[in-house]
């Protein structure tokens, strides 16, 4: 299973999701997710490291975002990845509009399986207060757990031909 996490700028939410999902998958479900990456809908920050506020909030929870660099979603992503997970509905709509007819990837919200959280979007923290970055981490850590649980269920339930 190859997973691409997607937000608007690829400097706050999706690099956070990439690092959290990678760490959790390695620790709790080795072999289930073989690749995790992230990308942005927009090109504003291509080549830049994550926002310093995201790097700091993640570091306080043990995730290192400092080596990540922003990139924009590319046409081949729809064929390379099995799952493209959008942080909010605007990102989701943009991915749906850009998806080719024969895309390999399933496109969904990152929090699609986290209904118990009471929200299905990870809000954009870029123009907000610093505690927005902790909220992003709370939602992404919880969402990543729900996602792994769902993928495990699907993995065991899938027919042999898939």
For ligand 4NP, the closer CB: 46 or 99:
46
Show contacts with ligand 4NP in window 107-126 (CB under 6 A): 124, 126
Helix residue ranges per DSSP H, the chain: 13-28, 52-60, 77-80, 89-98, 131-157
Q: DSSP secondary structure string, 135-151?
A: HHHHHHHHHHHHHHHHH
Q: Are the C-beta atoms of 58 and 38 separated by less than 8 Å? A: no
Whether 13 sits among the annotated catalytic residues: the reply is yes
In three-state secondary structure terms, 66 is coil
For ligand 4NP, the closer CB: 32 or 112:
112
Q: DSSP secondary structure string, 68-82?
A: ----B--TTHHHH-S
Give the burial class of 67: count Cβ atoms within 10 A of its Cβ; 0-12 exposed, 13-18 middle, 19 or more buried: exposed
Residue 37's DSSP bridge partners are 4
Q: Is 69 in the site for ligand 4NP (CB under 6 A)?
A: no
* Binding map of ligand 4NP across residues 6-45, x = CB under 6 A, - = no contact: -xxxxxxx------------------------------x-
Q: Is 53 in the site for ligand 4NP (CB under 6 A)?
A: no
User: Nearest-CB residue to ligand 4NP?
Assistant: 9
- Which one of 51, 77, 88, 124 is the catalytic residue? 124
For ligand 4NP, the closer CB: 5 or 148:
5
Residues acting as catalytic residues = 7, 13, 124
**Which residues of this chain interact with ligand 4NP, rule CB under 6 A?**
7-13, 44, 124, 126
């Amino acid at each position: 299973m190859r997973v691409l996490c997607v937000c608007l700028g690829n400097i706050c939410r999706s690099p956070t999701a990439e690092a959290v999902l990678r760490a959790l998958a390695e620790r709790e479900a080795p072999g289930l997710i073989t690749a995790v990456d992230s990308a942005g809908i927009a090109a504003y920050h291509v080549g830049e490291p994550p926002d310093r506020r995201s790097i700091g909030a993640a570091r306080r929870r043990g995730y290192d975002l400092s080596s990540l660099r922003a990139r924009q979603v590319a046409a081949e992503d729809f064929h390379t990845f099995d799952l493209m997970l959008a942080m909010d509905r605007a990102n989701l709509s943009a991915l749906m509009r850009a998806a080719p007819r024969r895309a390999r990837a399933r496109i969904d919200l990152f929090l699609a399986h986290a209904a118990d959280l009471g929200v299905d979007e990870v809000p954009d923290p870029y123009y907000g207060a610093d505690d927005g970055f902790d909220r992003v981490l709370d939602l992404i850590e919880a969402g990543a757990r729900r996602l792994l649980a769902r993928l495990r269920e699907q993995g065991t339930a899938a027919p042999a031909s898939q």
